[in-house]
Amino acid sequence: MKGYKLYLFCASLFLTVYLLAEYNRPKNIDWTTTFKYTDNNPFGTYVLYNRLNDIFPAAIIAKTNKSAYEVFTDSSLKPGNYIIIAETANIGKADFKKMITYIAAGNSIFISALNWDGFLADSLKIKNGIEFNKEKTGVNFTNKLLKHPKAYKFDKFTSNQYFDKFDTRKATVISQNQFGHSNYLSFKFGKGNLYVFANPQLLTNYTLLKPKGADYAAKVLSYMPVAKYVYWDQYQNSGNEEDASSMRVFFKYPALKWAFYISVISLLLFVIYEVKRRQRIIPVIEPLKNSTVEFVSVVGNVYYEQRDNTNIASKKIVYFAEHLRSVFGLKTGIYNKEFLVGFTNKTGIDESLAKELLNHINYLGHQTAVTDDELIILNQLIEKFYIQSGSYGK
């Protein structure tokens, strides 16, 4: 009993010291791209959401977590401006039709995303592009009254997205980058306008906390008229919502997570210690070891414990590129339109899968951090490639 009390005292002391050390340790910056109005990390939109009244004075700011179809068929919806900032703008046919009806009545909708999919992208003939290896791409307005003497330049690849294709007959170019590629467009529908912006990261906390970033973002949003109501869409980011279960919240904080691990390990050690005291020794017959399986398991556990998604994604992309070179004789490194043609022809996969896979690889190549969902999508796309190309094991 005396040994048991000493054991509990030592375990409690160690746990207390560890928690104090974790509590006082400086927190690492989370560079995950979320675009959530509640996130004050660099790529959240906390600052923009809370300063909307600076751009739209006296406006009532309302949040909505419903689909576009539900929002624009709701009889309680008021005239005003509607804002969507998300990683992917996936607007379906039914949603888009209701959006156009709302715009035609004299309202404005602003959409900013990194990726453009669905009926909206097809209808406006929008296709996004990336300025490769251009960390600081300059952007500026076409309107002489808003145009800055020098192009606005931002780091972290936040301004290297642009619209590679769009319906030039219907679109009005509002802003371009230094290479003449359009990054901000407007489309007239009836009495209102639809605004599409290719650089949502320029609307995040990281950019808005800088004077030139705040100036550019304010001018971008000022194209929408003054309105009594401004609606902030959360639905397009709903895929990023975290599970609010108690254990998920518990594991969100490193200090609590490791406290849990230490408690479990301490309990297991105590149980093992007590079992050994009461149970006679049973001879152990060691099974033959599979060194290959053991090695893979060890490496996998190391990466899992480190949670280094960026490193894992980088290695998967490198291994995938080597597979393309050795099996299909493709020259990798620059995944552009020319590469897409050869990639599709030589591998025999669907063009849609080829585009989605290369776009995702290009997207991850410009991220400072890779989320679990982004890593899973990369793995699923590569697996689909292997299945369609029939190159498993080659």
The torsion defined by the Cα of 88, 92, 94 and 100, in degrees rounded to 10, comes to 60
pLDDT(141) > 90: yes
Asked whether the predicted pLDDT for residue 304 surpasses 70, the reply is no
The pLDDT value recorded for residue 149 is: 94
> Which letter, b or e, does each residue of 178-203 get, where b requires 16 or more Cβ atoms within 10 Å of its Cβ?
beebbbbbbbebeebbbbbbbbbbbb
Least confident interval from 42-56, 107-121, 378-392: 378-392
What average pLDDT does the segment 19-46 reach?
82
CA distances from 15 to 3, 25, 106, 274 (A): 18, 15, 62, 21
Sequence ranges of the domains in the chain: 1-27+245-282, 46-240, 290-389
Is there a contact between 237 and 83 (Cβ–Cβ < 8 Å)? Answer: no
Which tops the pLDDT comparison, 21 or 212?
212
- Which of 175-184, 248-257, 306-315 has maximum average pLDDT? 175-184
pLDDT at 313 over 70: yes
Beta-carbon count within 10 A of 294 CB: 10
Confidence of residue 70 (pLDDT cuts 50, 70, 90): very high
Q: Which residue has the higher pLDDT, 392 or 3?
A: 392
Residue 218 has a pLDDT of: 96
For residue 276, the model assigns a pLDDT of 62
Q: What pLDDT band is residue 240 in, cutting at 50, 70 and 90?
A: very low
* pTM of the predicted model over 0.85: no
Count of beta carbons in the 10 Å neighbourhood of residue 289: 8
Express each pLDDT in 242-295 by its tens digit. Answer: 444 455 555 656 666 777 778 788 777 777 776 666 655 666 666 655 554 455
Q: Is the pLDDT of residue 182 over 80?
A: yes
Name residue 110's beta-bridge partners: 83, 195
pLDDT digits (tens, 9 = 90+) for 318-329: 888 888 888 888
Note the pLDDT of residue 330. 82
Is 5 or 229 the better-scoring residue by pLDDT? Answer: 229
For residue 244, what are its two tokens? Answer: 């609010």
What confidence tens digit (pLDDT) does each residue in 335-351 have?
787 888 888 888 888 98
- The pair of three-digit structure tokens given for residue 196, joined into one six-digit string: 């599409």
Is the pLDDT at 125 greater than 60, yes or no?
Answer: yes
Instruction: Indicate whether 26 pLDDT > 80.
Output: no
Q: Which residue would you say has higher pLDDT here, 50 or 375?
A: 50
Q: Looking at the domain covering 46-240, what would its CATH class be?
A: alpha beta
> 69 by DSSP, 3-state: which?
helix
Q: Residue 317: CB partners within 8 Å, gap ≥ 6?
A: 361, 364, 365, 378
The span from the CA of 367 to the CA of 329, in Å, is 28
Residue 52 pLDDT more than 80? yes
Mean pLDDT of 172-185: 97
Looking at mean pLDDT, say which of 9-23, 233-247, 379-393 comes out highest. Answer: 379-393
What mean pLDDT value characterizes the chain? 84
Say if residue 31's pLDDT is above 70: yes
**Both structure tokens of 209:** 């906390």
For the chain, list the strands marked E by DSSP. Answer: 60-64, 81-91, 108-117, 127-130, 139-141, 161-165, 171-177, 182-189, 192-197, 229-233
Determine contact, residues 122/90, Cβ cutoff 8 Å. Answer: no
Cβ neighbour number for residue 143 with a 10 Å cutoff: 11
User: What's the pLDDT score for residue 246?
Assistant: 53
- Provide the pairing of β-strand 229-233 with 81-91: parallel
- Structure confidence at residue 292 (pLDDT): 46
CA gap 100, 161 in Å, rounded: 25
